[in-house]
Amino acid sequence: MASADAGTALETEYQVFLSFRGPDTRTGFTDILFHSLIDHGICVFRDDEELPVGERIEGSLEQAMDNSKIYIPILSQTYASSKWCLRELEQIMANTSKSEGDKEILPIFFDMELEDVKLKTTLYTNAILRLQSEKKLSNEQIDAWREVLKEVGAIKGWEVKKYRGHGELIKLVTEKVVEKLKRKDKLVTEHLVGIDDHVVAINELLDINSGDVRAKSSRIDGLIELQKKLLSEIAVHAGTKSIDEIDYGMQRIGEALSNKKVFIVIDDVDKSEHVEKLLGKRTLRSRSRILITTRNKDVLQIHRSKYHILDFEMQVMSTNCALELLSRHAFNNDSPLDDYDDLSREIVSATGRLPLALEVIGSFLYEKGQQIWQETSEKLSKAPHKDVFGKLKISYDALTLEQEQIFLDIACFFIDEDKTNPIYMWKSCEFSADTGLHVLIDMSLVKIGENNK
């Protein structure tokens, strides 16, 4: 029976399906390509053995073919001599034709220098005719497989003999697969609201046309895994398994990034040293850009003389955008229902226009009656929703006990008050008032506005 190769269970959703004639390429080209793909983190299905003649494509093999996004048939000299290979190819073509562009075929023409489709088709037609004489195939099967081979032959693929060696071609195929899967797999929230101004501002900061890290980076092994992931994302996966300490990972990353123009996003960083351990110590190539999101501005204190560091502080959502975001989750619409307009505005105000809160509350209120809306609004005026509270408390929990006391004093007694008097009070309590206030400001937990308030 066919078997799965990727170190995973049969119910895995495979990304790439390899179809090949075993005696021609299994232990050579196909095996090297297979391992190159899985080394880049791609889940690959390859068919180790052909099913007996007469058995249908079904079970785990059918599931693997249906789930795969990219098919790579390796069309060798005797590929079309295999009834089983032709069945696979027929199923592949059927899957891609009905997928509306979500699936793709990348054929490899092995051991052939055939410049036009006609020659390829003739070769495979002869192979089919041999099958007909040997196994008494029906005319319908012959016609169907001839058409399938003609369609595949018309697809632009790779001809192995045009390359200096298998290694060069396998590298190109792997890079192409990684590129296509990245384009297909990007998942973006369905309800993006109010981002246009932020996009413009970020693009200006990045000056493109000019000349979940927190949880993982808190552990040493987590940082090492992030180093490996970064190297694999920039197509330098070879040898990453040997990275077992942070310093060696920094060395490998520094070597890899020094000769590449890169754009790297590091999300939710809480320590500046983690940035250096992920980027290495060497200077990045000119026009590279690093985008860091963080709850703590201290993370941006990176001591690199050649780096130009710019701050961008996210601003609170406008009332109109906040109302739209709530409505999309609560009503599947861009604006509230007429009877819920006032309640919606009350909830937007009570949440402080915080996107996370609007998403959570909007989803909770979906298809709920006005009474529940009213009760929710009243509760929010006293305390945030528990799911939102848990997220907001992350920054508070990162404070020292003394900093927590300063924060609670401000939250309970000194909002919109001059900071001078509370600073005297904290110092009389032997608190490091200036340092504590600086930490709270850097973590965006408090702001000092006009008139020192």
The catalytic residues are 88
Bridge partner residues of 16 (DSSP): 44, 70
Bridge partner residues of 217 (DSSP): none
The candidate with the shortest Cα–Cα distance to 142, out of 88, 86, 89, is: 86
- 1 touches 7 (CB < 8 A): no
Distance, in Å, from the CA atom of 322 to the CA atom of 424, rounded to the nearest integer, reads: 39
Q: Are strands 70-75 and 16-20 parallel, antiparallel or unpaired?
A: parallel
Distance, in Å, from the CA atom of 150 to the CA atom of 327, rounded to the nearest integer, reads: 52
Distance, in Å, from the CA atom of 243 to the CA atom of 449, rounded to the nearest integer, reads: 48
Going by C-beta distance under 8 Å and a sequence separation of 6 or more, which residues neighbour residue 215? 222
Residue 362's φ and ψ, nearest 5 degrees, are -60, -45
- 314 touches 197 (CB < 8 A): no
- 152 touches 105 (CB < 8 A): yes
Distance, in Å, from the CA atom of 193 to the CA atom of 203, rounded to the nearest integer, reads: 18
- 106 touches 172 (CB < 8 A): no
Distance, in Å, from the CA atom of 232 to the CA atom of 15, rounded to the nearest integer, reads: 17
Distance, in Å, from the CA atom of 276 to the CA atom of 414, rounded to the nearest integer, reads: 38
The candidate with the shortest Cα–Cα distance to 269, out of 245, 228, 300, is: 300
Distance, in Å, from the CA atom of 49 to the CA atom of 88, rounded to the nearest integer, reads: 12
Bridge partner residues of 265 (DSSP): 291
Q: Write the DSSP symbol of residue 285.
A: P
Q: Are strands 263-269 and 289-294 parallel, antiparallel or unpaired?
A: parallel
